[in-house]
Structure formats: structure tokens, C-alpha cells
């Protein structure tokens, strides 16, 4: 009996999602735990894997809205996986083996030989342009089934499309936007002019593109506006001299990596400094719930991670009980799984404090927006060498601007400044964090 592929439960508040992409084609043989599809919801993008091996039959196309529990495909587990893997892919077996058999056949049998598959030839150029059509077909292979169909039906060269998917991959939305732009060109050209060239009509202008907003991007937009409307956000700034941290990293980075199997980055220092500051100013680790003030006595630190589908904030639980190495390992694990769409919804909520590092993109200064339910967020920025005054002398030091945005309904200016100054003190004197003084 075929095994049903259902949309899994992601969270209590999520009832539907968007089937963004099939990782396999209809009729493919899949292995157990092999990626099948990419599911987008308003809170998370995740990959759904095959529960069993067998032949895949797709029931719901890409781009459709699906409900939790809905059957979107079936897997025939009676198909022997080993036999299917030994057979060459259908698309290449007919096209690649045919040239090899042609020299061995006599002229008459060759004339009676079956024509190439109908899916490969009709959408391409006439016989006079056969070499060019073959090259274009090679470019099409490797795209998702939906993208392949659109590209071939509309005579599009995939190299003309700028992919916005992961690793520059061309998505269905990219192709639709390309087609829409091409169809909006002036219609003054005559049919004779159009037929004069075998190449697609060049796009004269690409001043705009239009594509649907993904559910995750919609949710991000809603949350940002919601936070701005419900909290009184204010930002305070300071700067930190990273000479001490950089010297400490330079001295122990090789030993640290040999012992723990991971590099010593800057983020673990800022996580430790933030926890120290939260303990110094406990109000910053709280939030407003109706007419009550709730103060957290645990430290779940959110780390903002940028992915191709938007910003996510995975959370390091009970970070105050972790060593520097454990923090670095946790950050690396969460960031990797965020890029691979393997995070669980429970790992993306409940941060008591958040850290965002815009410095990795070269940002000098910004005002980060709160990540509820937390009432404050730290913004890190690029490290730049600047002249500063130390002991009445002008010296060049690696400096970083820091920003803390906070909910002014709960946190006053004195508390926010004290909090940020404590972070600066810890960063400029990293041994204090080690000795907890």
C-alpha cells in the first residue's frame, strides 16, 4: 500500500503553509530521509524528508497552499531502491544512448528509428538550430520540474534569468517574473521582425520586477510593524575598543580550536558580556504583560541569522550555564541548520534578549528593532580602526559601535545606558568575564 506524504505539524498556531518547492520530480525513486519538499509557513521554512524509500507520486504542485495533515504525495515502497538507482535517469538515457547506437545501424533502420522524446524537441528551436537547442536543454536539466516546464514552454534560455533561490537557483517566481517582463514589451514589432531571429526577443527594460511575497516575509513584515506600534522603542549608542578581545583571541585561538574543534569568534564574547549586563540590570531581562512587569531569571539569548528566505532568530537556551566553547558550538549549529531549513519552531521563540550582528555586512551603525517577547536587543557593527584618545594620546584602535534598542515603557534611560556601558566594560576587559568580576 502506498505511503502517504503529509504536511507535518509545525506548531500549534500554524494550520497551513506554502509548498515552495519539490526537491524531487514525479516518478523519481527516493531514499529514506531524503529531502522531498520545502514548506514555507508564516514563521519558519523547513524541509520535509521521505519517511520511507520508494517511487514518488506527486499529488500537489509547487506554489500551492497546503494544510497541515494534507496528503501531497505518495511513495510506493514496493519499488526496489537499488534497482531504481542502477537505472540511468529517463531524461538522459534516451538522448545519450541514441547517438551511440546510430553508427551501428543501417540507413533504413535508422530512418525508422523512433523520434526523440516529445518533451525535449517541440519547445526548442527548429531543426536548423539543433546544436543551440541541445545546449539550451543541457542548461534546463537540474532545474525543478515546474521551472523546466515553464522554461521549455516559453522558449526561454535559463542563462538569461537571474536566480533568487539558494545558491542562485532559478525559482518558479523568477521565471514568471521574466515572462511578465517580456510580455510587457512594446508590440510595435511586426510578425516578420519577430520571425527574423531564432533568439528570444531581447528585454529592452527591466525597471521593475514583481513576485508574490513569501509567507515568512509577510510574517516578518507584520511582526516589525506590530512591534513598532506596541512598544516605545528608543536606542542608545556607545563604542567599544576590541583590542583586548582581539589580543585574547590571537593568543589562544589555536589552542581553543585544537581542544574544542571550533574557532573562537567574537559572538561568544558578546553573549557572555550581555548575560553579565543582564544580571547587572535585571529590568532589561523582563517584559510587560498587560499591567504587569515580568522579570526573567534565566537567559535565553537569541542570535539573529540571515538566510535567503529572511531573518530568523534561533535561541541559545540557558546560555548563562554554557562555556565559551559551548556557546560557539551552539551558534554554529543553529546557523547551519537555519541555512539548511532544519530548525524547529520551538528553537525560534522565547528569547529573553537578542543580539544582531550587522557588522558582518559592513554596517557601521543601526537601530535594531525589538524581538518580542524580549524588551531589548543589542546591535553589533563593523570593526574599524579609528583614532581614539587613550591616556591623553591619540592612538589607532579597532573600534566597534554598539547600539541597544529597548522598550522605554519598561526600561529608563539610566538603566539602558548602564546596561550598555557594562557590555562595553566586559568587552574592553575580557578577563573580567573569565573571572566573573
402 has pLDDT over 70: yes
Residue-wise pLDDT for 105-117, tens only, equals 444 444 444 444 4
Q: Which residue has the higher pLDDT, 409 or 343?
A: 409
Residue-wise pLDDT for 216-230, tens only, equals 788 778 888 989 999
Residues 353 and 246 in one domain: yes
Residue ending a domain, choose from 196, 212, 228: 212
pLDDT band at 166 (very low <50, low <70, confident <90, very high): low
Task: State how far the Cα of 126 lies from the Cα of 113, in Å rounded to an integer.
Answer: 20
Q: Which residue has the higher pLDDT, 324 or 345?
A: 324
Give a yes or no: residue 103 inside a domain.
no
Contact assessment for residue 218 and residue 310, using Cβ atoms and an 8 Å cutoff = no
Confidence at residue 276, expressed as pLDDT on a 0 to 100 scale: 96
Task: State how far the Cα of 130 lies from the Cα of 243, in Å rounded to an integer.
Answer: 64
Give a yes or no: residue 108 inside a domain.
no
Mean pLDDT of the 65-90 span: 72
Distances (CA, A) of 170 to 120, 136, 253: 20, 15, 40
Residues 13 and 45 in one domain: yes
Residues 226 and 356 in one domain: yes
Task: State how far the Cα of 120 lies from the Cα of 431, in Å rounded to an integer.
Answer: 67
Task: Give the chain's domain count.
Answer: 3
Task: State how far the Cα of 264 lies from the Cα of 255, in Å rounded to an integer.
Answer: 10
Distance linking the first and last C-alpha atoms of the chain: 65
Give a yes or no: residue 47 inside a domain.
yes
122 has pLDDT over 80: no
Q: Which residue has the higher pLDDT, 161 or 433?
A: 161
Residue ending a domain, choose from 157, 185, 212: 212
Task: State how far the Cα of 160 lies from the Cα of 168, in Å rounded to an integer.
Answer: 13
Mean pLDDT rounded to a whole number for the chain = 80
Give a yes or no: residue 107 inside a domain.
no
Structural domain span for residue 364: 215-435
Give pTM, 2 decimals: 0.62
DSSP structural state of residue 121: S
Residue-wise pLDDT for 176-209, tens only, equals 778 777 655 444 444 444 444 444 554 545 788 8
**Residues with catalytic function:** 408, 412
pLDDT band at 141 (very low <50, low <70, confident <90, very high): low
Q: What cell does 30 get? A: 527516493
Cis, peptide link before residue 373, omega less than 30° from 0: yes
368 has pLDDT over 90: yes
Q: What cell does 42 get? A: 508564516
Residues 256 and 383 in one domain: yes
Give a yes or no: residue 104 inside a domain.
no
Residue-wise pLDDT for 263-279, tens only, equals 999 999 999 999 999 99
**129-133, 162-166, 253-257: which is most confident:** 253-257
286 has pLDDT over 60: yes
Give a yes or no: residue 92 inside a domain.
no
Mean pLDDT of the 378-390 span: 96
Residues 16 and 125 in one domain: no
Contact assessment for residue 383 and residue 368, using Cβ atoms and an 8 Å cutoff = no
CA 263 to chain centre: 23
| CA–CA–CA angle 178, 181, 186 (5° rounding) | 145
Q: What cell does 428 get? A: 574592553
Give a yes or no: residue 93 inside a domain.
no
pLDDT band at 309 (very low <50, low <70, confident <90, very high): confident
Q: Which segments of 102-232 does DSSP mark as H helices, in order?
A: 107-112, 130-140, 145-153, 172-183, 191-195, 215-230
Number of C-alpha atoms within 13 angstroms, CB side, residue 412? 2
Residues 150 and 239 in one domain: no
Task: State how far the Cα of 3 lies from the Cα of 77, in Å rounded to an integer.
Answer: 7
Q: Which residues pair with 301 in a beta bridge?
A: 316, 353
Amino acid at each position: 500500500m502506498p505511503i502517504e506524504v503529509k504536511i507535518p505539524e509545525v506548531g500549534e498556531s500554524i494550520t497551513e503553509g506554502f509548498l515552495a518547492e519539490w526537491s524531487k520530480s514525479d516518478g523519481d525513486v527516493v531514499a529514506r530521509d531524503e529531502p522531498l519538499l520545502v514548506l514555507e509557513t508564516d514563521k519558519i521554512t523547513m524541509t520535509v524528508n521521505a519517511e520511507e524509500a520508494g517511487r514518488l507520486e506527486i499529488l500537489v504542485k509547487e506554489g500551492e497552499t497546503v494544510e497541515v495533515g494534507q496528503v501531497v504525495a505518495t511513495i510506493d515502497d514496493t519499488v526496489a531502491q537499488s534497482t531504481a538507482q542502477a537505472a540511468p535517469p529517463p531524461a538522459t538515457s534516451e538522448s545519450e544512448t541514441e547517438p551511440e547506437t546510430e553508427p551501428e545501424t543501417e540507413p533504413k533502420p535508422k530512418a525508422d528509428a523512433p523520434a526523440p522524446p516529445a518533451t525535449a524537441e517541440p519547445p526548442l528551436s527548429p531543426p536548423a538550430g539543433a546544436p543551440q537547442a541541445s545546449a539550451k536543454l543541457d542548461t534546463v536539466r537540474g532545474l525543478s520540474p515546474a521551472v523546466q516546464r515553464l522554461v521549455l514552454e516559453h522558449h526561454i534560455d535559463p542563462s538569461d534569468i537571474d536566480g533568487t533561490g539558494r545558491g542562485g537557483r532559478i525559482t518558479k517566481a523568477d521565471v514568471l517574473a521574466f515572462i511578465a517582463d517580456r510580455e510587457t514589451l512594446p508590440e510595435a514589432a511586426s510578425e516578420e521582425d519577430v520571425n527574423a531571429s531564432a533568439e528570444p526577443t531581447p528585454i529592452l527594460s527591466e525597471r521593475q520586477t514583481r513576485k508574490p511575497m513569501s509567507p515568512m516575509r509577510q510574517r516578518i513584515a507584520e511582526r516589525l510593524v506590530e512591534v513598532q506600534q506596541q512598544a516605545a522603542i528608543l536606542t542608545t549608542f556607545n563604542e567599544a575598543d576590541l583590542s583586548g578581545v582581539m589580543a585574547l583571541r590571537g593568543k589562544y585561538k589555536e589552542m581553543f580550536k585544537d581542544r574544542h574543534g571550533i574557532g573562537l569568534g567574537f559572538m561568544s564574547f558578546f553573549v557572555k558580556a550581555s548575560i553579565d549586563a543582564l544580571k547587572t540590570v535585571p529590568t532589561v531581562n523582563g517584559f510587560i504583560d498587560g499591567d504587569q512587569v515580568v522579570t526573567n531569571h534565566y537567559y535565553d539569548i537569541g542570535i539573529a541569522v540571515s538566510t535567503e528566505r529572511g531573518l530568523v532568530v534561533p535561541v541559545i537556551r540557558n546560555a548563562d550555564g554554557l562555556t565559551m566553547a559551548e556557546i560557539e558550538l551552539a551558534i554554529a549549529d543553529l546557523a547551519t541548520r537555519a541555512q539548511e531549513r532544519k530548525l524547529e519552531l520551538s528553537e525560534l521563540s522565547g528569547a529573553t534578549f537578542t543580539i544582531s550582528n550587522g557588522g558582518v555586512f559592513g554596517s557601521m551603525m543601526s537601530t535594531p528593532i525589538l524581538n518580542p517577547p524580549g524588551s531589548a536587543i543589542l546591535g553589533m557593527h563593523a570593526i574599524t580602526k579609528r583614532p581614539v584618545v587613550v591616556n591623553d594620546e591619540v592612538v589607532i584602535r579597532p573600534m566597534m559601535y554598539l547600539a541597544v534598542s529597548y522598550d522605554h515603557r519598561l526600561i529608563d534611560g539610566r538603566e539602558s545606558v548602564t546596561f550598555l556601558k557594562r557590555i562595553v566594560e566586559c568587552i574592553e576587559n575580557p578577563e573580567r568575564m573569565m573571572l566573573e568580576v
